[in-house]
Amino acid sequence: MARKYFGTDGVRGRVGESPLTVDFALRLASAAARVLAPQGGTVLIGKDTRLSGYMFESALEAGFVAAGVNVMLIGPLPTPGIAYMTRRFGCRFGVVISASHNLYDDNGIKFFDAEGGKLSDEDEERIEAELDNPPVTRHSRGLGRASRVDRSRQHYQDFCVSTLPAGLTLEGMKIVIDCANGAGYKVAPRILADLGADIVPIGCSPNGRNINDGCGSTASDLLQLTVPGVRAQVGIALDGDGDRLVMVDHLGRMVDGDQLLYVLASARREAGTLQGPVVGTVMSNLGLEIALREQGIDFRRAAVGDRYVMAQMRESGSVLGGETSGHILTLDKTTTGDAIVAALQVLAVMRQTGRSLAELSAGMAKLPQVMINVKVGRRFDPMSVPAVVQVVERVQAGLGNQGRVVLRASGTEPVIRVMIEAEEEQQARDSANEIATAVRAAGP
């Protein structure tokens, strides 16, 4: 069946507009309880720092408790931390209230299964089918209970540290950490400090409205100025829910998800611990594929979205994959994309090799890549429009084998993404503008 509410990463939208309303959250909780915990059980609810998170937390809590499901409220914690704690607590499933890298006036609701993985398409479809039914309210004897477990986030911090080689510390390292005023603002600085690093925190003062606002992985300018300004060895930027990572080298240059994958894959190959191919997406820079090929490392592309990267990794026996945006999956360490865990793996490579991030990433030459996000009234498949297809075919013919065209609808917002890769940046920019113009003309 066609899904009405669930996108590639749960339900997401503007707060106060359908479907991101209190009424919907209550119905969603009741529907999820009937599908995922028909005999009761426990659900863990976590969130990022958006003002609307309190509202949706209360609505979800009411819906679950009324349906006979016990609720554990863990408060602000990175999305991967909620996945981990769902598994650790033995919950039937987990819920995250977050719109990831979006600004505060958006929010979203997504689910993890008992193993800390994303729900299957089938489970999401079953939940959607239940949404037309009114919320369930059991008699008093059958109601669930709610409790707060905020202090248990120390378990997640300990887990992150456990992914490092035994005995490795960060003593002597000066690190700037930007938490996007989001879910990682408590745990990420504490983890680094506990490992002995001298930390300089930015983006760690959330007020409910400043999440992802000029900070974090989607806006690294301040981090790029701060790292060389305070003479730090490296900078780390998370997004609002702590599952995306970009880093900054000591020279103030941003190191994106493709380059971080290259660093980790090269280190694992050298250590003999790399299993299977490295998995990227159709948006991954061609330079990553070329650099890995030169080392004899197989590289495969999945559709955009960490769930599709995950599916390709499981199918191919891979332990390392990710996206340009900074979703890094290290399945030999954890079950989902985790920015803190990924950052620790990069820091470990720096400590073990004695090399800077600039040196480690220098082996990958990025091809010029231009992305234009075309806002549309509603999502549609641009390649179903003949006029757009004609322009795309003409541009691709002009690029030949030395460039790529990727055109796709975002799974989380009404945007058509136009990406061009070419040998020369101006050629990429001109080609992207040509296709973007065609998409705008075709959009609803």
Residue 348 lies in a domain: yes
- Output 1 or 12, whichever has higher pLDDT: 12
- d(C-alpha 366, C-alpha 283), whole Å: 12
For residue 376, the domain's CATH number is 3.30.310.50
Beta bridge pairs of residue 84? none
pLDDT over 80 at 411, yes or no: no
Same domain, 56 and 150: yes
pLDDT at 182: 98
pLDDT band at residue 136 under the 50/70/90 scheme: very high
pLDDT at 402: 75
For residue 322, the domain's CATH number is 3.40.120.10
* Ramachandran assignment for 196, one of left (phi > 0), alpha (psi -120 to 50 degrees), beta (any other): left
Count other C-beta atoms under 10 Å from residue 374's C-beta.
22
Element (H, E) at 199: strand 198-202
Residue 352 lies in a domain: yes
Same domain, 318 and 415: no
Chain segment 306-320, per-residue pLDDT in tens: 889 999 999 999 999
Residue 114 Cα to chain centre, angstroms: 19
Chain segment 277-289, per-residue pLDDT in tens: 999 999 899 889 9
- d(C-alpha 119, C-alpha 113), whole Å: 6
- d(C-alpha 373, C-alpha 220), whole Å: 19
Same domain, 380 and 334: no
- d(C-alpha 77, C-alpha 14), whole Å: 21
Residue 273's Cβ-count burial label (10 Å; 0-12, 13-18, 19+) is exposed
Same domain, 223 and 271: no
Beta bridge pairs of residue 177? 201, 236
Count other C-beta atoms under 10 Å from residue 155's C-beta.
14
- Among 52, 98, 100, 220, which one carries the catalytic annotation? 100
pLDDT band at residue 403 under the 50/70/90 scheme: confident
Mean pLDDT score, 361-384:
91
pLDDT at 250: 98
Residue 364 Cα to chain centre, angstroms: 23
- d(C-alpha 1, C-alpha 399), whole Å: 38
Residue where one domain finishes, among candidates 361, 387, 414 = 361
Residue 282 lies in a domain: yes
Residue 2 lies in a domain: no
pLDDT band at residue 7 under the 50/70/90 scheme: confident
Same domain, 288 and 355: yes
Count the domains in the chain.
Answer: 4
pLDDT at 3: 77
Same domain, 148 and 34: yes
Beta bridge pairs of residue 327? 244
Which of 79-83, 345-349, 409-413 bottoms out in mean pLDDT, i.e. has the lowest?
Answer: 409-413
Give the CA distances from residue 269 to residues 165, 230, 276, 302, 315, in Å, rounded to whole numbers and listed in that order: 16, 33, 11, 21, 20
Residue 1 lies in a domain: no
Same domain, 29 and 144: yes
Residue 236 lies in a domain: yes
Q: What is the mean pLDDT of the chain?
A: 95
Domain extent at residue 29? 11-154
Same domain, 347 and 392: no
Same domain, 390 and 282: no
pLDDT at 9: 83
Mean pLDDT score, 387-400:
92
Same domain, 245 and 281: no
pLDDT over 80 at 408, yes or no: yes
**CA nearest to 70, candidates 53, 55, 92:** 92
pLDDT at 363: 96
Chain segment 10-42, per-residue pLDDT in tens: 999 999 999 999 999 999 999 999 999 999 999
Mean pLDDT score, 260-283:
96
pLDDT over 60 at 1, yes or no: no
Reading across the β-sheet that carries 245-248, which strands appear in turn? Answer: 198-202, 174-178, 234-238, 245-248, 254-255
Sign of CA dihedral 263, 266, 270, 272: positive
- d(C-alpha 160, C-alpha 142), whole Å: 37
Mean pLDDT score, 255-261:
98
Structure tokens belonging to residue 63: 């819906």
pLDDT at 412: 67
Same domain, 179 and 275: no
pLDDT at 2: 63
Chain segment 352-362, per-residue pLDDT in tens: 999 999 999 99
- Reply yes or no on whether 100 is catalytic: yes
Chain segment 191-241, per-residue pLDDT in tens: 999 999 999 999 999 999 999 999 999 999 999 999 999 999 999 999 999
Chain segment 221-231, per-residue pLDDT in tens: 999 999 999 99
What lies within 8 Å, CB to CB, of 110 at 6+ separation is 9, 10, 11, 79, 95, 96, 98, 118
Beta bridge pairs of residue 200? 176
- d(C-alpha 183, C-alpha 153), whole Å: 12
Structure tokens belonging to residue 207: 């007020």
Look up tokens 């202090």; give the residue. Answer: 151
pLDDT at 318: 97
Same domain, 149 and 183: no
pLDDT over 60 at 73, yes or no: yes
pLDDT band at residue 444 under the 50/70/90 scheme: confident
Residue where one domain finishes, among candidates 311, 341, 361 = 361
Residue 199 lies in a domain: yes
CB 280 within 8 A of CB 302: yes
Long-range contacts of 150-154 (CB under 8 A, 24+ apart): 150/73, 150/74, 150/75, 152/74, 152/85, 152/89, 153/74, 153/75, 153/77, 153/81, 153/85, 153/186, 153/187
Chain segment 161-181, per-residue pLDDT in tens: 999 999 999 999 999 999 999
Q: Which residues of 414-423 are buried (b: 16+ CB within 10 A; e: fewer)?
A: bbbbbbbbbe
- Is the link from the previous residue into 444 a cis peptide, with omega within 30 of 0? no
Residue where one domain finishes, among candidates 96, 126, 154 = 154
Beta bridge pairs of residue 302? 281
Q: What is the pTM of this model?
A: 0.89
pLDDT band at residue 399 under the 50/70/90 scheme: confident
Look up tokens 């490579």; give the residue. Answer: 349
Residue 6 lies in a domain: no
pLDDT at 409: 86
